[in-house]
């Protein structure tokens, strides 16, 4: 039964990625063009127009955006997945968590490509690989768990209150600025800095930056805290989906 | 004879609108039935009686809001054509995806692919995206995939006859064989002929209530005697 669920998730992910390719002229190339354009816009605004003089600003920005974008797309796509799959949920007995999982996996695949490109860019601009790269695996794994947890949570509630989908985008934009993606938390006044650093995404983005730019090992205690929060949230979100599944089937279509 | 599913005074309510405080609508109010292994039950009733809802309760997709349901350890599948089909995927990939949604393992579907290809008569089109198919070709593929599913209890909402006259006859025969090889079947149909031919028992439901359950001829007779449905139902409530 478990194996069958995994097969369904993996094959649906393949179908999802395949769909994206066939829906556009350039296909897979968009996986790289899209984030590259976004990075270009932010770089223009912050580095060129606003003349940010912070050291290492280019890698700082690129890493922040890449890591954030993975979280954001997983939450937006995964968060709508159950709502969009209601017709299928009405026809067949399935665990509804399959649908957000597929979206998260598809976005993770795309992230893998973008992240590899980012590494190449960093190597070419004077930030060579280092021993702390070993810590990337646990850090990114924790982000995957955290992103999935948030996506499942949103996915669980959107079918019952579809209006939420108009709000998600705004909340994510605010969260992006509160996660230290485009400016450093050091620039934020003291009381706010404590509030913002409680955000798991801030911790994760900082950890990736420290590894890639400064060859610095992560703060394992802070990371452990984020891991614990992520896993508890993950379990709670899955439980919520399981509890709400009987209600999805009975919603007005 | 072992009982596979037993429903006792089942009720199922839907929310009519997504607004706050919207009223609930009881699609099933009070339905009882017992499904034994090897039974082939035809469900009859007028439009909106709750026949499709009942099938989805037996399939385990809908959980009842009241009443009691007991099921033995038996697999149960509602047969739908073209379940989960995606237009940009090839016929082969859609067959795999649909099979996975029907609860088959990847290995089981992979084994069935040659049979699906042959039965659907798609030839080289099998590896083309189904967006290039005609309606008839899509339904032939859908039927061929659905035929690979072999649950203990087969649930069918309306007789699935698809394609041109020739394929209709072929698919009808395949379905007939499937239903007569000892499989337990619950079938929703509008034509008496199909129910007489296929079923061992019939269940008559009206306005979400089970009115009569028994031998096909008895139930059909009573159903057609009942010329004033609404009046009859009020008498029975």
Tell me the β-bridge partners of B76. B153
Beta pairing class for B153-157 and B66-71:
unpaired
In the block, tokens 């996660």 appear at A179
Residue A86 is predicted with a pLDDT of 93
- Does residue B220 fall inside a structural domain? no
Q: Tens-of-pLDDT digits for all 253 residues of chain A?
A: 578 899 999 999 999 998 888 878 887 788 888 888 877 887 788 777 777 767 788 889 889 999 999 999 999 999 999 999 999 998 888 899 999 999 999 999 999 989 998 999 899 888 999 999 999 999 999 999 999 999 999 999 999 998 998 999 999 998 888 888 877 777 777 777 777 778 899 999 999 999 999 999 999 999 999 999 999 999 999 999 999 998 898 886 6
Which pLDDT belongs to residue A32?
81
Q: Is B4 within the bounds of a domain?
A: no
What's the whole-model pTM score? Answer: 0.88
Distance CA B139, CA B143 (A): 6
List the single residue in B with minimal CA-CA distance to A20: B88
Mutation target to probe the A interface, by most A beta carbons within 10 A, among B20, B58, B86 is B86
Q: For residue B113, tell me if it sits in a domain.
A: yes
In this complex, which of A8, A249, A251 lies closest to B101 when CB atoms are compared? A8
Which residues, 6 or more positions from A40, have their beta carbon under 8 angstroms from its beta carbon?
none
| Mean pLDDT of the region B196-210 | 90
B62/A250 touch (CB, cutoff 8 Å), yes or no = yes
- Is the pLDDT at B233 greater than 50? The verdict is no
- Angle, helices A98-124 vs A2-22, to 10°: value is 60
pLDDT in tens, B62-80: 999 999 999 888 888 888 8
Out of A12, A18, A92, the one facing B61 most closely (by C-beta) is: A92
| Burial class for B31, CB neighbours closer than 10 Å (0-12, 13-18, 19+) | buried
User: What angle separates helix B106-120 from helix B135-146, to the nearest 10 degrees?
Assistant: 130
Residue B194 in domain: no
Across the interface, which of B78, B86, B97 has its CB nearest the CB of A91? Answer: B78
Assess contact for B89 and A15: CB atoms under 8 A.
yes
Q: How many domains does chain B have?
A: 1
How confident is the model over B166-180, as pLDDT tens digits?
A: 888 888 888 888 888
Query: Which pLDDT score, from 0 to 100, does residue B197 have?
Result: 86
**Interior angle at CA A143, CA A141 and CA A147, nearest 5:** 120
Q: A51 at the B interface (CB within 8 A)?
A: no
In 3-state terms, what secondary structure has residue B29?
strand
Range of the domain at B121: 84-150
Q: Which pLDDT belongs to residue B42?
A: 92
Give residues with Cβ within 8 angstroms of B124, minimum separation 6: none
Query: What does the DSSP 8-state code read for residue B76?
Result: E
Of B119, B121, B180, B191, which is closest to residue B158 (Cα–Cα)?
B191
Does a structural domain hold residue B164?
Answer: no
The reply to whether B224 falls in a domain is no
Is B110 domain-assigned? Answer: yes
Given a contact cutoff of 8 angstroms between Cβ atoms, the answer to whether A102 and A43 are in contact is no
Specify whether the CB–CB gap between A102 and A16 falls below 8 A: yes
How far CA B97 is from CA of A45, A223, B38, B128, in Å, comes to 45, 38, 29, 15
Nearest-5° Cα angle at B96, B90 to B97: 85
Closest CA to B79 of B14, B146, B19: B146
CB–CB contact A11 B62 (8 Å): no
Cβ atoms within 10 A of the Cβ of B74, count?
Answer: 15
Q: Is residue B211 part of a domain?
A: no
């Amino acid at each position: 039964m478990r194996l069958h669920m995994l097969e369904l998730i993996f094959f649906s992910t393949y179908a999802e990625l395949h769909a994206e390719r066939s829906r556009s002229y350039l296909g897979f190339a968009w996986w790289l063009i899209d984030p590259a354009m976004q990075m270009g816009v932010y770089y223009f605004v912050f580095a060129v127009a606003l003349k940010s003089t912070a050291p290492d600003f280019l890698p700082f920005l690129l890493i922040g955006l890449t890591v954030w974008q993975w979280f954001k797309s997983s939450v937006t796509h995964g968060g709508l997945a159950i709502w969009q799959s209601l017709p299928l949920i009405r026809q067949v007995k399935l665990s509804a968590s399959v649908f957000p999982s597929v979206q998260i996996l598809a976005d993770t695949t795309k992230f893998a490509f973008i992240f590899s490109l980012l590494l190449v860019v960093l190597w070419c601009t004077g930030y060579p690989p280092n021993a702390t790269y070993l810590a990337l695996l646990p850090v990114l794994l924790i982000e995957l768990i955290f992103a999935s947890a948030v996506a499942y949570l949103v996915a669980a509630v959107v079918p019952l209150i579809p209006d939420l989908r108009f709000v998600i985008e705004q909340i994510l934009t605010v969260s992006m600025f509160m996660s230290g993606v485009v400016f450093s938390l050091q620039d934020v006044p003291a009381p706010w800095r404590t509030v913002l650093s409680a955000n798991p995404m801030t911790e994760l983005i900082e950890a990736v930056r420290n590894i890639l730019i400064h060859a610095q090992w992560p703060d394992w205690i802070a990371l452990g805290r984020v891991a614990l929060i992520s896993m508890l949230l993950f379990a709670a979100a899955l439980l919520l989906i399981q509890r709400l599944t009987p209600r999805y089937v009975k919603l007005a279509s | 004879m072992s009982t596979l599913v037993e429903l006792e005074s089942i009720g199922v309510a839907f929310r009519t609108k997504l607004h706050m405080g919207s009223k609930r609508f009881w699609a099933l109010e009070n339905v009882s039935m017992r499904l034994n292994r090897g039974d082939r039950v035809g469900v009859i009733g007028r439009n909106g009686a709750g026949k499709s809802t009942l099938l989805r309760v037996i399939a385990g997709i809908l959980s009842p809001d009241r009443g009691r349901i007991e099921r033995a350890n038996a697999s149960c599948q509602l047969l739908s054509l073209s379940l989960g089909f995606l237009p940009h995927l090839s016929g082969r990939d859609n067959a795999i995806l649909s099979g996975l949604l029907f609860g088959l393992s990847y290995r089981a579907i992979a084994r069935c692919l040659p049979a699906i290809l042959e039965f659907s008569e798609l030839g080289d089109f099998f590896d083309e995206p189904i967006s290039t198919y005609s309606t008839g070709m899509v339904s032939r593929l859908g039927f061929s995939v659905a035929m690979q599913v072999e649950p203990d209890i087969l649930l069918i909402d309306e007789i699935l006859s698809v394609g041109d006259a020739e394929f209709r006859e072929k698919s009808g025969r395949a379905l007939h064989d499937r239903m007569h090889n000892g499989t337990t079947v619950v079938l929703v149909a509008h034509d008496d002929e199909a129910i007489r031919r296929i079923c061992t028992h019939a269940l008559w439901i009206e306005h979400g209530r089970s009115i009569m359950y028994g031998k096909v001829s008895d139930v059909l007779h009573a159903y057609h005697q009942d010329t004033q449905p609404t009046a009859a139902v009020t008498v029975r409530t």
